[in-house]
Amino acid sequence: MSIFSLVGKTALVTGGGSGIGKAIAELFASRGAEVYVLDIASRNGSDAQTTAGRAIASLSCDVTDGQEVEQAVKRVVEETGRLDIVVNNAGISHIGNIEQTTGADLDRLYQINVKGMFHVAKAAITHMKAQGGVILNLASVAATVGLADRFAYSTGKGAVVAMTLSLAKDYLAHGIRCNCISPGRVHTPFVDDYLKRNYPGKEQEMFAKLAATQPIGRMAKPEEIAYMALYLCSDEASFLTGCDYPIDGGFTRLNT
Among the residue ranges 95-104, 126-135, 136-145, 192-201, the one predicted with the least confidence is 192-201
- From 58, 57, 56, select the one nearest 26 (Cα to Cα): 56
Q: Which one from 36, 110, 153, 199 is the annotated catalytic residue?
A: 153
Residue 46, pLDDT above cutoff 50 = no
Confidence tier at 256 by pLDDT (50, 70, 90): low
Report the mean per-residue pLDDT for the chain: 93
Q: Which CATH architecture has domain 10-184+222-245?
A: 3-Layer(aba) Sandwich (3.40)
pLDDT at 1: 55
pTM value surpassing 0.85: yes
Each domain of the chain, given as residue ranges in start order, spans: 10-184+222-245, 185-219
Residue 110 a catalytic site member = no
What pLDDT is stored for residue 190 in this prediction?
Answer: 85
Residue 148 CB contacts under 8 Å (≥ 6 apart), including other chains: 97
pLDDT band for position 47 (cuts 50, 70, 90): very low
H-assigned helices in the chain: 19-30, 66-80, 103-109, 115-128, 142-145, 151-170, 189-198, 203-212, 222-233, 251-254
- Compute the 3-state secondary structure of the chain and give helix, strand, coil in percent, each to the nearest 5: 50, 20, 30
